[in-house]
């Protein structure tokens, strides 16, 4: 059973990398939307950050070690989980902009605030399952 301290550290690491990812997501969207429709800019920024965040969550947040079979399962669960939140992000922004008339940059911030808790829950419970036979990757100090 995990200690409360470990869970707090994990949540802190998720928050830290979440901020880094959020900045990458928002600024890539902000820059891209100057050159293309906001929907395409949003799709590209979502894909870019989903790839980036897989690595950071696996390595630095949840610290899972897997053999190649476990890795395949983890990537599959990640694609399903983050695919779901990516669709919520993509459709949610369109609804906020086209239906409610909210500025795209503000709408993107709203969607990021909605998606972050969903991503943590899915990552912790569904995607990055600890292999009971493998040790966690040691922390770097």
Spatial separation of the C-alpha atoms in residues 49 and 51, rounded to whole Å: 5
Residue percentage of the chain with pLDDT more than 90: 38
pLDDT digits (tens, 9 = 90+) for 124-134: 888 887 655 44
Check residues 54 and 137 and name the one with the higher pLDDT.
54
Least confident of 5-9, 76-80, 98-102: 5-9
**DSSP secondary structure code for residue 95 in this structure:** I
Reply yes or no on whether the pLDDT at 8 is more than 80.
Answer: no
What element of type H or E holds 38?
Answer: helix 38-56
Cβ atoms of 2 and 38 within 8 Å: the answer is no
Q: Where are the domains of the chain?
A: 4-127
pLDDT (average), residues 62-81: 87
Cα dihedral 121→126→131→132 (10° resolution): 70
pTM, to two decimals: 0.69
């Amino acid at each position: 059973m995990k200690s409360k301290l470990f869970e707090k550290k994990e949540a802190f690491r998720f928050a830290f990398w979440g901020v880094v990812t959020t900045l990458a997501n928002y600024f890539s969207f902000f820059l891209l939307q100057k050159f293309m429709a906001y929907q395409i800019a949003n799709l590209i920024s979502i894909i870019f950050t989903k790839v980036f965040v897989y690595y950071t969550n696996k390595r630095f947040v949840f610290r899972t070690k897997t053999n190649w079979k476990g890795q395949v399962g983890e990537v599959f669960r990640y694609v399903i989980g983050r695919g779901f939140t990516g669709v919520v992000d993509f459709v949610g922004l369109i609804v906020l902009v086209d239906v409610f008339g909210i500025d795209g940059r503000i709408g993107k911030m709203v969607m990021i605030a909605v998606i972050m808790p969903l991503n943590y829950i899915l990552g912790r419970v569904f995607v990055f399952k600890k292999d009971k036979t493998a040790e966690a990757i040691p922390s770097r100090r």
